[in-house]
Amino acid sequence: MSHGSWLQLPLVFLAAAVLAVPLARYLRLGAILGYLVAGLLIGPAVLGLVPESSAIPEVAELGVVLMLFLVGLELEPKRLWAMRRPIFGWGSVQLLGCAAVLTAVGVATGHPWRLSLVVSLGLAMSSTAVALAVLAERNLGRTTAGESILSVALLQDIAAIPILALVPVLALSGAHGEDEGQTWLAAAKAVGAIITIVFGGRLLLRPALRWIAHSKTPEIFTAAALLLVLGTAALMQLVGLSMALGAFLAGVLLAESEYRRELETDLEPFKGLLLGLFFIAVGMGLDLKAVAAQPVFVLGVLATLLVCKTVVLVAMARAMQIPLVERPAFVILLAQGGEFGFVVFQLAQSEGMITAGQNSALVAAVALSLALTPLLLTGGDRLMSQKLARLGQKHKRDEAPPPPAPILIAGSGRYGQVVGRMLRASGLEATLLDQDSEAIEGLRRFGWTVHYGDATRLDLLKSAGAATARILVIAVDDIGQSLEIAELAREHFPQLTVVARARNVQHYYQLREAGVRHIERETFDSALMSARSVLELTGMEPHAARRQAMHFRRHNIEVLERMLPLQSDEGALIAAAKLGRQQFEQQMAAERDAEEAHRRAQRGGWDKHDD
């Protein structure tokens, strides 16, 4: 390569991501598929802009490592301990059940049982990166399906070392006693590494972070956060364990610390970039020549992988009592192959169990399953929406279908439910949209018309009746989703009058720029009510406190509207805010003086009357 090759590689990666991911999101296919397609295009199979390199997958794996660390930060040790049964119970059922079914299929088709078992163990593993990225993208991490997927993913990371130790044993590559001794040595190293991370982390991590934080140097704290993650990952890799498992344990140890939010903020940008690099690397590994040379075999492996794992996972979803609306995500996100399968297949090839051609075909089948996941999720969402609609109508077949509600409420949390209850008490019906399955089931039992799904999806808004509705209330928590829904409404449903909830002043301005005119800040009125109570407790008459609060509300909104055109000029913005505050204080002082003069005049009149 030329002297500029070190710069060429990141340029190609970044350009591919910048072009492919926004296009994939525009087509509603998701960012993950965009990264996979970008990797396929720049890889050796198509354009050849990036040569084959074993270093790229290793660097890309850091994305998964950082993601598992951040997941660990969200799990306090008590919560993780409470999940021990689903991790080792249902996680083992998924891994061993899928491996058993796939092995049976392999033996039935005439392959040796050792070969079938090794390949099946590789195929039974699911992609932690894809699953957790989709859960984060859809805000499903706290749902029943999300926690179940996390449990299975953690079990798979824990099972990595015994599976890798099992492959050489099955390949019969060496004396039995030597293999057994190496296996026990690897297990001892693994246990020692975990104990070191757990106890060393409790004794050293918090004091070390506290000492670094006292330096008041933000970039050093970021460097320390990266050092922590990479250090634990390197320790686990040294003893042959999953790097992601080590990073996860480090995250759990810091879940209750005062530095949790700071660590999340510092590492989030690195996680996103490295995860994108991971998916690009997977796309680059898709060998089109191997697929073209043996398409029947590749497609057969792909179909067997998806069908066998789906059968096991559907049975698990029923036994685990996962809510109906969450089952498609649970099944599809675990039915795919995983990045760990690539490692198993490579080891099996080095041990002489499979040929290079078979390895390429297996890798191609797993990569295709990863590429199909976003498409299958979209199809599963639509299928579930249709099924729920049929279930909702099965008791009303003899009745005329009700007209679409003229009011839609996106978000059924505390804010959205208060709006809906107020409307219902006033004799108005509303349709609620939310992706919290438990909330949806509860609202449905109380007679609400509800649609499950992400309100940023155009097809969901259409099916909920946005084309004929008059009013859309945006009550979702996430600011990005709120703005995306407002943009969709303005672009596709211009007849809708949008009433939106703003999380803060900045969100207020963003909604105004999106064309929303009716906006209420979620804590503003409750803060005004508290201020009224304080004024009354200091001796002010209730009607005067109410009038002052209303004056403040009206003046605050006027100032916000005056400041709207000044968003790009920070100096003018600050000056306008100061002027507005001074004007309001002067107005209030003048009103207090007038009221005091009125009271003195009244007292003077009473005194004359008494004389």
- What one-character-per-residue DSSP string does 77-137 give? HHHHHHTHHHHHTHHHHHHHHHHHHHHHHHHHTT--HHHHHHHHHHHH---HHHHHHHHHH
User: Quick one: average pLDDT of 331-346?
Assistant: 80
Q: How confident is the model at residue 472 (pLDDT cuts 50, 70, 90)?
A: very high
Residue 316 has pLDDT above 70, yes or no: yes
Mean pLDDT across the chain: 75
User: Quick one: average pLDDT of 388-402?
Assistant: 46
Of residues 569 and 407, the one with the higher pLDDT is 407
Predicted confidence at residue 465, as pLDDT, reads 82
* Residue 488, amino acid: L
- Is there a common fold for 55-384 and 404-522? no
User: Quick one: average pLDDT of 382-409?
Assistant: 57
- Packing angle between helix 260-284 and helix 55-73, nearest 10 degrees? 150
**Each residue of 474-507: pLDDT tens digit?**
988 888 888 989 998 888 888 889 999 888 888 8
Beta bridge partners of 499: 473, 518
Residue 392 has pLDDT above 60, yes or no: no
Predicted confidence at residue 2, as pLDDT, reads 47
User: Quick one: average pLDDT of 18-38?
Assistant: 75
Q: What are phi and psi of 500, to 5 degrees?
A: -125, 150
Predicted confidence at residue 396, as pLDDT, reads 42
User: Quick one: average pLDDT of 217-246?
Assistant: 76
Taking the C-alpha atoms of residue 51 and residue 40, their distance in angstroms, rounded to an integer, is: 12
The listed range with the strongest mean pLDDT (100-104, 222-226, 338-342) is 100-104
Taking the C-alpha atoms of residue 13 and residue 277, their distance in angstroms, rounded to an integer, is: 8
Q: 28: phi > 0 → left, psi -120 to 50 → alpha, else beta; which?
A: left
CB 145 within 8 A of CB 322: yes
Predicted confidence at residue 238, as pLDDT, reads 78
- Joined tokens for residue 250: 């480090």
**Each residue of 552-576: pLDDT tens digit?**
888 777 777 776 666 555 565 566 5
Taking the C-alpha atoms of residue 368 and residue 358, their distance in angstroms, rounded to an integer, is: 15
Residue 5 has pLDDT above 60, yes or no: no
CA distances from 209 to 185, 201, 226, 232, 474 (A): 33, 11, 12, 15, 40
CB 119 within 8 A of CB 349: no
Q: What is the 3-state secondary structure (H, E, C) of 433-482?
A: EECCHHHHHHHHHCCCEEEECCCCCHHHHHHCCCCCCCEEEECCCCHHHH
Predicted confidence at residue 41, as pLDDT, reads 84
Nearest to 240 by CA among 333, 343, 379: 343
Residue 262 has pLDDT above 80, yes or no: no
Q: What angle do CA 109, 160, 43 make, to 5 degrees?
A: 75
Check the CA dihedral 76-82-88-93 and report its sign: negative
Check the CA dihedral 27-28-29-35 and report its sign: positive
Q: What are phi and psi of 257, to 5 degrees?
A: -85, 165
Class of domain 404-522: alpha beta
Q: How confident is the model at residue 397 (pLDDT cuts 50, 70, 90)?
A: very low
**Each residue of 67-83: pLDDT tens digit?**
667 767 766 667 667 77
Q: What angle do CA 147, 149, 154 make, to 5 degrees?
A: 95
User: Quick one: average pLDDT of 428-449?
Assistant: 74
CA distances from 224 to 59, 71, 209, 220 (A): 19, 18, 8, 6
Q: What angle do CA 145, 151, 154 make, to 5 degrees?
A: 140
Predicted confidence at residue 512, as pLDDT, reads 85
Residue 341 has pLDDT above 60, yes or no: yes
CB 410 within 8 A of CB 475: yes
CB 168 within 8 A of CB 174: yes
Nearest to 379 by CA among 459, 280, 449: 459
- In this structure, the strands spanning 497-502 and 471-474 are parallel
| Domain ranges across the chain | 55-384, 404-522, 536-611
Q: Which residue has the tokens 């344990």?
A: 249
- Packing angle between helix 542-563 and helix 505-513, nearest 10 degrees? 50
Burial of 551 (0-12, 13-18, 19+ CB in 10 A): middle
Burial of 182 (0-12, 13-18, 19+ CB in 10 A): middle
Tally Cβ neighbours within 10 Å of residue 54: 6
Q: How confident is the model at residue 315 (pLDDT cuts 50, 70, 90)?
A: very high
User: Quick one: average pLDDT of 594-598?
Assistant: 60
Of residues 386 and 210, the one with the higher pLDDT is 210
Residue 225 has pLDDT above 60, yes or no: yes
Taking the C-alpha atoms of residue 555 and residue 560, their distance in angstroms, rounded to an integer, is: 9
Predicted confidence at residue 478, as pLDDT, reads 84
Nearest to 469 by CA among 403, 425, 520: 403
Alpha carbon of residue 587 to chain centroid: 48
Q: How confident is the model at residue 311 (pLDDT cuts 50, 70, 90)?
A: very high
- CATH 1.20.1530.20, applies to 55-384: yes
Predicted confidence at residue 63, as pLDDT, reads 65
**Each residue of 194-210: pLDDT tens digit?**
777 777 766 777 777 77
Predicted confidence at residue 173, as pLDDT, reads 45
**Each residue of 113-160: pLDDT tens digit?**
888 888 888 888 888 777 877 777 666 666 777 778 888 887 887 776
Rounding to the nearest 10 degrees, give the CA dihedral for residues 168, 173, 179, 185.
-60
CA distances from 299 to 49, 282, 363, 367 (A): 27, 18, 12, 12
